[in-house]
Structure 1
Amino acid sequence: MKIYSYKGLSVRIMLRDEHCPPHAHVKAGAWSARFKFSFWHNNVELWDVIPLSRRPPAAVLEGLRQSLKQPVHLLRARGIWWRKIGTVCLENQLWDWQSNEVVVVKGIVSTTNMIGSAHYESETNKTRLSLIGMHEVVEIEL
């Protein structure tokens, strides 16, 4: 499903056989790229370009990344992903209360809890995390 166009390139969320992490696709004739986005922060990251030998200029990739970071495009990407894919890809990861972030390599300490479930509210652009063993819900305003 199309999110938007950037300089004639269509930025899309694929709806068939999609997988975590949340990401958008750009397909040009000679190459394709994927950009990761999140439901707990507003960063966008270039994930990969295939084939690497036909990689477009860095300015094109950075322009695509910056355009996806725009609030209107990121909101649309998240909304499509949530409605069609049905996950924010945060379940069973660790949330650190002290740093207010998902931690990957860090060990379990007193400030971390496992994320049991996560839901995105496109109307308010918020993600809600239910943590295992905690009654409080973490609300992330994006």
Structure 2
Amino acid sequence: MSADWLLSIANLRMIPDAVLALPAKGAINFHDGPLPAYAGLNTPAWAIINGETTHGVSWHVIEGGVDEGDLLAQKMIDIAPDETAFTLNSKCYAAGMESFGAVLSQLEADQLERRPQDLTQRSYFARDQRPGGRAFWT
């Protein structure tokens, strides 16, 4: 079996290099954060903790380090004052579905609209960096 592209969507594990080498043209990742500002894991929770008013999703080529590849599409979303990590994550997946058409168009045309990330603007939230829980009893 062969494939032109590997799409990584809702995947929380690093894809082994042997698997990344299988598709003929490359691999693309859906990320639930606006890159390069929110790379890594639990980015909707971190955006709320950091007091952001907007967040977003990114589609990027898998190359280089974690969440460092060239961007193909992004979609920004508003964070409501009463937002939770769950509701923001749900908005991220909706934004991912809405923005997937832009990625699919690039794949169909066999012409990626690659935009390098400005990694000087990068924040990275590692697997062992867990957001603290908050309870609001009102």
Q: Same fold (TM over 0.5)?
A: no
In terms of fraction of residues, the more strand-rich structure is 1
TM-score, normalising length: structure 2: 0.30
Larger radius of gyration: 1
Structure having the larger proportion of residues in helix = 2
> Higher relative contact order at CA 8 Å, sep ≥6: structure 1 or structure 2?
2
TM-score scaled by structure 1? 0.29
